Structure 1
Amino acid sequence: MKKGTKLIISAAAAVTAAVIAGTMCAFAAKAGNGDVNGDGKVNITDITLTAAFVKGKRMLSDKALAAADVNGDGSVNNTDITRLAAFVKGKRNLDGSEFAPTGPVIEVKNGVTYVDGILVVNKSYALPQNYGNGLTAETQKAFNNMQAAAWNDGISLNICSGFRSYSYQSQLYWSYVNRDGQWAADTYSARPGHSEHQTGLAIDINNASTSFNGTREAKWIAAHCADYGFILRYPYGKEDKTGFMYESWHVRYVGKDLARKITDSGLCLEEYLGIDSYYH
């Protein structure tokens, strides 16, 4: 064997050894994006390519090496494989940090559902039978303030339906079912345990019927209720989101800041929180 040939073989062996050790670096030490094959996605294929490189089974281009070095230490090794795998499994970001929660944070405390800290009752989320004992003090105070302001504008507002117990809602709902059938009743009346009135945060004003729609009072409520911490809980055009017909008379207390944010967003509560409303 010639001397030149030995040098070539020695050089090749050195390269292979470097590859196996995962320390060959022909790129700047900067955290890669994990897209080793450059297809715009980070998935099992990228893990496979990186693993093959670390095992010395295949070479990677400089661009691919830079992408595979997800921890940015200037080398591609088992640490990068671990991070890629955790990312693809949805457990961690490529930098090793835990994924931030996506979507709403839903907690259930004593049978009551809170979404991002907001008590929620709809077709998807129910209350325990023994929950509630009247309008909350905050709700009553907010309504009193709204009522006084409306009076100053020549508008008379009164509560026609406030707190409803589980048993009362059950009687009401089943009377509607007997009268109109369950499909129809479900469009305008909540099943027991699914009524906002049981929370003590919801109020029907003046006249809980479609004849209230378009009245001076209804228009005033829509324009001003957020100033007192209320939202129109079942807005027009959101029936497929809330699960209920448009109710210009039904308001829900959420506090002034949140009421203003929801109202200005043009979203119903379900849309704002990113939740659904249907009987499961």
Structure 2
Amino acid sequence: MKLLTKDLMSLQAVEDNLYNQMNEYNTYPFYYIVVTYTTRDKNIFELNNLKRLEHIHKTNRLLRRKLKESFEVDIVNMFQERHKGYQEKWYKGDQVSDWDIIRDFMPKDDIQLGDMVNNGTYHTNIIMSVVDIEEVLSPPINRRCKKLFSGNGRQGIPVENCIYQDSDDLTLDLINSCCRSIEDVASDYSKAVVVEELHTPEDLRHNLHYCLKDCYEKGVDWNQIIDFDNSDFFKEDLCKPSNYV
């Protein structure tokens, strides 16, 4: 979907202001976190909840509170992204992928279509400010952060069972553990939580633009993407001129 020039300029102004609000903090790294909600072992009611923006906002609120309390950070900004989903395909009783169909020259007329999977469900993108992990773990240790050591990190094993060469890797695993403590997030699925360090203003700008990609590519209203109620953005500042170059 191609945006009208006026709408494109308005969206770019919003992005500029959001970027400025974060970049003025001027302390790196920021963290870009992607949280995917599991559909495994969910009943129909629970699956439908993952398609409801109200439920996602409640989950965002819980995620934000846990991140703030565990890491004592100043900024946690939340964006929700809706999945397009995909359709299951079957051939002679076996589930197959699009690649299987192409590779094995399966006749299209013999392919049976199944359910739409993840159609309309959401995942959450988060941009969080720097974590001073040495301060957080200094006596008296933040008790909420201390609990995260029993949770799984990026390798799928408890943080307390890992050996770390530096505090950066420990921080990434503790953030993983924190996000995986949410009921809707799979604790044992490696891709359920992905954390990336943003070391420069360019990194921050790039990831912010990615969070807003559905606004640019699909014309989605930015109010449906940015969870202002669970973010540290000042919404009233979006009407002010941007100084970004």
Q: TM-score range by the shorter chain?
A: under 0.3
More strand per residue: 2
Which structure has the higher relative contact order (CA within 8 Å, separation 6+)? 2
Query: TM-score scaled to structure 1, two decimals?
Result: 0.21
| TM-score, with length taken from structure 2 | 0.23
